[in-house]
Amino acid sequence: MSEEKKVLIEVDHLKKYFDINVGLFKTKPLKAVDDVSFTINRGETLGLVGESGCGKTTVGRTLLHLYKPTAGEVIYDGKPIRTKADLKEYRTKATMVFQDPYSSLNPRMTVSDIIGEPIDVHKLYATAAERQDKILELMAKVGLNSEHASRYAHEFSGGQRQRIGIARALAVNPEFIVCDEPVSALDVSIQAQVINMFGELQEELGLTYLFVAHDLLVVRHISDRIAVMYLGRMVELADAEEIHDHPLHPYTKSLLSAIPIPDPKIARANQRIVLHGDIPSPLNAPSGCPFRTRCRYATPACAESMPEFKEVSKGHFVACHRVAEIND
């Protein structure tokens, strides 16, 4: 197996349920992530897309054990994460860039302390001078000046704050980063800069990303492969170009049809696939296929059993009972 195709992260039947109070002494499981399996190869970016509330962020957080998995396993570089010692070692290899640069940075800490915190926690320096050098080097990597080190987070713009968050994520010299909608809170002009920076850092440091987003254009630009989630389950997974040119699942087709096209002639000819109804609550998910309540191809059989997430062509996985019929 070549170095490029070596699996770094393997997610095996991952589940994350939250117990929700529904009455006096009664709880019901909210199935935020329900039996998800995928792999991420070393040095690749896997984009994870879907509507708000589909479980994308929960996948990322459970992957890093910020949420304890209800069931299933995360295997990092061939080693399952099971004990506290495994987790401690894993935390020096895997880290996260959070969605909101406004709330994910401590307002009482200087930029130097924010970036230096992971270095302190994992004791990655011998002297105070070495610590300071590391912090300044990380700041330079993400395009921040050394004079920014003594300032506080509230003194920066959104784009600069997200750069501070990225520098903090890079502090432990990780191999794998979960990017949780890292550009959704930023202006469009700044989004491009930050996304390009992710690409440059990946090339320079050999990073592997799980890139969570709901903007398919952003995901297509940065990802090698794209996974589509709906109501806690994965419905399609394929190479970025393949999923863009040949989507097979009705939900993926609908998402792609909603992407704005800059050419008015093509835009007029492009048929928008509108989904009817709202996304069901994960507390009361439909039986069988979770998408059937909004799918124009649904039959009574779709209510009876969950479609298997299976490979229909090389590297292209889909969970749909009627995938062959609707793509003839």
Distance between CA 211 and CA 60 in Å, rounded?
9
The confidence score (pLDDT) of residue 170 equals: 95
pLDDT level of residue 150 (50, 70, 90 thresholds): very high
Distance between CA 69 and CA 32 in Å, rounded?
11
Spans of all domains in the chain: 7-93+174-246
pLDDT 10s digits, 42-83: 999 999 998 888 899 999 999 999 999 999 999 999 999 999
| pLDDT beyond 70 at 3 | no
**3.40.50.1580, 3.40.109.10, 3.30.70.100, 3.40.50.300: CATH of 7-93+174-246:** 3.40.50.300
Tokens 């987070």 correspond to 153
Tokens 């349920």 correspond to 17
Q: Give helix 128-141 / helix 158-170 axis angle, nearest 10°.
A: 130
| pLDDT beyond 90 at 167 | yes
pLDDT level of residue 277 (50, 70, 90 thresholds): confident
> Is residue 310 a contact partner of residue 38, using CB atoms and an 8 Å limit?
no
pTM comes to 0.91
The helix/strand count (H/E) of the chain reads as 11, 12
